[in-house]
Structure 1
Amino acid sequence: MSSNIVVTTWSLEQTSAADLLPAAAPDGDAVRIVRSEVPSPEFSRFLYASVGGDIRWTDRLGWSHARWREHLERPGVETWVAYEHGTPAGYVELEAQDDGVVEILYFGLIPAFRGRRIGGHLLSYGAARAWDLAERWEGRPPTKRVWVHTCSLDGEHAMANYQRRGFTLFDTEVEEEPDVPAPGPWPGAQLDTPR
């Protein structure tokens, strides 16, 4: 018999580019943020599983290659990847919606890169790209609103990071969900443990 857990979901928004309060970039030039311009289901699934594996991101794990490709090829969907010394550290996925709205669909860091001052910078950069998204997509209206949701299963600093970047709360929902174990970055495989 499966059990349920209570999950709180918070939705936050910015209604002007002036709402964005950028975080300082990490010192030096070790961290770069680059748009993944060629839709790659393999790479996007790697990012999704690697960032969300320990915090119960499971919605997309069953997606087929074709479904990933269809999603990534939609006009107005962008993936921005943070690299530290050439290694993927985390990502932001944006989706243009109707009437000048852009949602930050996914944002996060691979566990090994958390706590290294990359998250605030990556979120700042991703939100700025949400605000100027129409400049890269012909026919898209200028962005009027950027929104995101986070939940009580996400990283412990997620909500505070959004608020420090100038996002304000506009909705809270509390629901019971099945208590699904976190699959880890390699669903179905055990993580190596130090000896």
Structure 2
Amino acid sequence: MSITVTTWSLEQTSPDDLRPAAEPAGDIRIVRAEEPSPEFSRFLYTAVGGDIRWTDRLGLTYAQWREIVERPGAEIWVAYVKGTPAGYVELDPQDDGVVEIVYFGLIPAFRGRRIGGHLLSYGVARAWDLADRWPGRPGTKRVWLHTCSLDGEHAMDNYLRRGFRLFDTTVTEEPETENLGPWPGAARSE
């Protein structure tokens, strides 16, 4: 069985495009995961993407996860609420001055609490200043990402509110997958 998935690609072409969200109230910190950890990266990926069918990385080996988190210039920024991981943004700078936001999202329990706009704003600002942190790379000329019809219901609106513009749309048929969560059955309501 297959499902129809629409994928939208969005971009910013200037740091002036960013329209930051207000910082939410409460004990919320955004911290870079500076020590590459395949285990922590996989935890974030499954915890955030399990209920919205993120499956492309599930079959990766430990060595493949390690290669991802140790890419030169790659950064993972994690939002914490009262010390608990709430979500993350993963940045992947290319050699041509383009930075892709490869993954972004919140763990389901933290959605709808105004954390997503703040975390995305922070991640986009970091993407625009990656050149300052990685000498020898060209300045950032473009920040882009993609989202799809399987992502959270507020994802597209958040991207548009932060100043991203649509530049491509594709429609594909993909195999139906179960919402996996970080463990079997985790995405099911009790």
Shared fold (TM-score, shorter chain, > 0.5): yes
The equivalent residue for 2:56 is 59
The equivalent residue for 2:4 is 6
1:92 aligns with 2:89: yes
Secondary structure in 1 aligned to 2:67?
Answer: helix
Aligned positions of 1:101-180 closer than 5 A: 101-180=98-177
TM-superposed CA distance for 1:193, in Å, is: 6.2
| 8 Å Cα contact 2:95/2:137 also seen in 1 | no
- Return the match for 1:22 from 20, 23, 32: 20
Letter of the 2:87 partner, please give it: G
1:40 aligns with 2:49: no
Q: Cα deviations across residues 149-189 of structure 1 (Å, max 9, x unaligned)?
A: 00000000000000000000000000111111111121xx3
Letter of the 1:8 partner, please give it: T
Q: What is the TM-score when the length of structure 2 is the normalising length? A: 0.97
Return 5+ residue gaps in structure 2 as ranges.
none
In 2, Cα distance between equivalents of 1:168 and 1:145: 12
For this pair of structures, how many residues does the alignment match?
189
- Return the match for 1:73 from 64, 70, 74: 70
In 2, Cα distance between equivalents of 1:109 and 1:190: 18
Q: Cα deviations across residues 39-77 of structure 1 (Å, max 9, x unaligned)?
A: 000000000000000000011011111111111111121
Q: Cα deviations across residues 78-131 of structure 1 (Å, max 9, x unaligned)?
A: 000000000000000000013100000000000000001100000000000000
Return 5+ residue gaps in structure 1 as ranges.
none
Alignment RMSD (CA, Å): 1.1
Secondary structure in 2 aligned to 1:54?
Answer: helix
Letter of the 2:185 partner, please give it: Q
In 1, Cα distance between equivalents of 2:177 and 2:11: 28
In 2, Cα distance between equivalents of 1:49 and 1:104: 17
Q: What is the TM-score when the length of structure 1 is the normalising length? A: 0.94
Q: Indicate the percent of aligned positions where both proteins have the same amino acid.
A: 75
Secondary structure in 2 aligned to 1:180?
Answer: coil
In 1, Cα distance between equivalents of 2:129 and 2:45: 24
| 8 Å Cα contact 2:99/2:127 also seen in 1 | yes
In 2, Cα distance between equivalents of 1:103 and 1:86: 27
In 1, Cα distance between equivalents of 2:31 and 2:156: 24
Secondary structure in 2 aligned to 1:177?
Answer: strand
In 2, Cα distance between equivalents of 1:52 and 1:193: 16
Secondary structure in 2 aligned to 1:139?
Answer: coil
In 1, Cα distance between equivalents of 2:120 and 2:189: 31
Secondary structure in 2 aligned to 1:142?
Answer: coil
Letter of the 1:126 partner, please give it: G
